[in-house]
């Protein structure tokens, strides 16, 4: 029988320690940074975001800028031709609906209402929406990235046929709201350090004795 999400969290906390608290970002900044983070490293994300603000300017300047100018500014983050129109379209949609370039109105919404709104923006899926809600607004939405998905599946916390885009529907209800942030951060760290995609280091894993997929290779 697979372990519970809370049991997994307790072991990861004991092994790695509690994660450092996250300093909340402006939700619009978090949205743009999360779009920029797709398929690139944290370092390149930060560089692309800094370049965007330095070379294009304010949110209003970015909204009005040609897509090619935005792409040039974020090119060092990769996939600029995909991310630039997504950023511009998101800003335009927010402006058209609310008359201001701000996502502060999300503070008054619950998790599901916030997720529904954010996923109406082009290029914003459940993971990006959850990042905005969790990191900028301290709401208990669980971003499921490749590490969270892989580790959760290997541990049996989600079903073997559950797609990544719906994994949060199974994981969030299994956790108290106050534990969602720690669970997300610790599963990412565990996936990077031990439960790797190609060569999981099962012999060093604090969950080895309760993991139903222990010893199974990269297809696990």
State the residue range of the domain holding 196: 5-19+143-204
What do you get for the CA distance between the two ends of the chain, in Å? 16
Instruction: Tell me what the pLDDT averaged over the chain comes to.
Output: 94
Same domain flag for 76 and 151: no
Residue 127 falls in the annotated catalytic set: yes
Separation of alpha carbons 219 and 101, rounded Å: 43
Q: 129-162, pLDDT tens digit by residue?
A: 999 999 999 999 999 999 999 999 999 999 989 9
Write down the catalytic residue from 88, 127, 139, 196: 127
Quick check: is 131 in a domain?
Answer: yes
pLDDT of residue 217: 53
Enter the pTM of the model.
0.93
The mean pLDDT value for 29-43 works out to 95
Domain harbouring 43, CATH code: 1.10.340.30
Same domain flag for 39 and 116: yes
Q: Above pLDDT 90, what percent of the chain?
A: 91
Q: 60-108, pLDDT tens digit by residue?
A: 999 999 999 999 999 999 999 999 999 999 999 999 999 999 999 999 9
Do the Cβ atoms of 7 and 117 come closer than 8 Å?
A: no
Do the Cβ atoms of 53 and 45 come closer than 8 Å?
A: no
Do the Cβ atoms of 134 and 178 come closer than 8 Å?
A: no
């Amino acid at each position: 029988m697979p372990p519970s999400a809370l049991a997994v969290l307790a072991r990861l906390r004991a092994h790695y320690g509690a994660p450092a608290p996250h300093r909340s970002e402006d939700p619009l900044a978090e949205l743009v940074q999360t779009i920029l983070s797709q398929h690139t490293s944290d370092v390149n994300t930060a560089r692309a975001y800094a370049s965007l603000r330095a070379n294009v300017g304010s949110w209003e300047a970015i909204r009005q800028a040609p897509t090619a100018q935005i792409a040039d500014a974020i090119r060092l983050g990769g996939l600029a031709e995909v991310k630039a129109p997504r950023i511009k379209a998101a800003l335009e949609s927010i402006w058209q609906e609310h008359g201001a370039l701000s996502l502060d109105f999300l503070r008054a919404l619950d998790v599901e209402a916030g997720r529904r709104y954010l996923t109406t923006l082009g290029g914003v899926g459940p993971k990006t929406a959850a990042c905005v809600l969790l990191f900028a607004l301290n709401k208990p939405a669980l971003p499921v990235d490749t590490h969270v998905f892989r580790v959760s599946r290997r541990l049996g916390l989600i079903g073997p046929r559950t797609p990544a885009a719906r994994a949060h529907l199974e994981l969030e209800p299994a956790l108290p709201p106050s534990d969602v942030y720690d669970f997300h951060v610790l599963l990412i760290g565990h996936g990077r350090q031990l439960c790797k995609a190609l060569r999981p280091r099962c012999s060093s894993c604090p969950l080895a004795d309760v993991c139903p997929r222990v010893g199974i290779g990269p297809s696990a």
